[in-house]
């Protein structure tokens, strides 16, 4: 089995998962002139893609059987497990020389399992989680972190670059997921810092928008300040990335850290705070909903 695959405009691209980010991501591929088919558990979420000429299929197995490249972005590792290894899963329909790309934030160990199972079928696999939320998905400015065989990555790079402007190879299977875990540690710390900064500014009587205009251009500058702090000020807690999914990601990091005998007390604290957000019934809100829990603790707003 060679370690590369040719992807052309004649290649059929199969897509599984059209949630907050997936529909926009696949839309960029279709807009670039590729042919495609799609499966998602809620067909209505794929309506724009179907209206654009994308074929709807009944399950992941059918998508795999009809595709040269299969890309998945679903919710939880259990969803990935079902999509790939279930009775109607991708690996029961995949053909030789097919490329499988899982863009879900997933456990590194499951990414390695998919890689090995694909190899047994004469297929290829990359783990390619993303960062950038709904804004990055819509604007094709995602950061994409890729693990797998480097030659396969280079073959897939032009396709990935339709969805992100920062596409980087990280190493062998599972390395993309480990990189995403590193990303989520920073995101967690940034989120609590942004929320506490806003709380402090409000308590001190500052105009929060003026305060943001200053600190977002200095040493505190970060994506969260630019993209989520304004949503908080507008009391917009709708998801660019779900609280439920962020709790899942932090749980994966903490499990991996335990396996490596690594202590991450800061992340453990943020994880517990987000569990309290979920306990308030806010699991389907955006990660900026952390502000609501911290406001309650501080009796603000």
Q: Determine the 3-state secondary structure of 227 from DSSP.
A: helix
- Count how many Cα atoms sit within 13 Å of the Cα of residue 62 in the half-sphere of its side chain: 10
DSSP secondary structure string for all residues of 18-75: -STTHHHHHHHHHHTT-EEEEE-SSGGGGHHHHHTTPEE-SSHHHHHHH-SEEEE--S
3-state secondary structure of 3: coil
Q: Which of 61, 121, 180, 285 is catalytic?
A: 180
Active site residue 180: yes
Cα(284)–Cα(243) distance, integer angstroms: 6
Instruction: Give per-residue burial for 207-228: e unless 16+ CB within 10 Å, then b.
Output: ebeebbeebbeeeeebbbbebb
Helices (H), 121-261: 133-139, 150-160, 175-203, 208-215, 223-227, 229-233, 243-259
Catalytic residue numbers, as ranges: 180
């Amino acid at each position: 089995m060679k370690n590369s695959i040719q992807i052309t405009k004649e290649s059929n691209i199969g897509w599984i998962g059209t949630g907050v980010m997936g529909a926009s991501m696949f839309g960029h591929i279709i807009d670039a002139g590729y042919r495609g088919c799609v499966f998602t558990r809620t067909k209505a979420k794929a309506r724009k893609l179907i209206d654009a000429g994308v074929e709807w299929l009944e399950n992941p197995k059918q998508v795999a059987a009809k595709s040269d490249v299969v890309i998945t972005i679903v919710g939880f590792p259990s969803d990935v497990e079902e999509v790939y290894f279930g009775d109607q899963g991708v690996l029961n329909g995949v053909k030789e020389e097919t490329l499988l790309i899982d863009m879900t934030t997933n456990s590194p160990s499951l990414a390695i399992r998919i890689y090995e199972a694909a190899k047994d079928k004469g297929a290829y696999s990359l783990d390619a989680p993303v960062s950038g939320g709904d804004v990055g998905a819509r604007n094709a400015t995602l950061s994409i972190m890729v693990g797998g065989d480097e030659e396969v990555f280079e073959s897939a790079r032009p396709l990935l670059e339709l969805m992100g402007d920062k596409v980087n190879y990280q190493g062998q299977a599972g390395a993309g997921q480990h990189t995403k875990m590193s990303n989520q540690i920073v995101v967690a710390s940034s989120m609590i810092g942004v929320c506490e900064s806003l709380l402090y500014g409000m308590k001190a009587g500052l105009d929060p928008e003026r305060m943001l205009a200053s600190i977002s251009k200095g040493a505190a500058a970060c994506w969260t300040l630019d993209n989520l702090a304004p949503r908080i000020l507008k009391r917009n807690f709708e998801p660019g990335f779900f609280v439920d999914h962020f709790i899942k990601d932090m749980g994966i990091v903490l499990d991996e850290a335990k396996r490596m005998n690594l202590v991450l007390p800061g992340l453990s604290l943020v994880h517990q705070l987000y569990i309290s957000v979920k306990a308030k019934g806010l699991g389907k809100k955006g990660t900026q909903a952390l502000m609501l829990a911290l406001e309650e603790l501080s009796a603000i707003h």
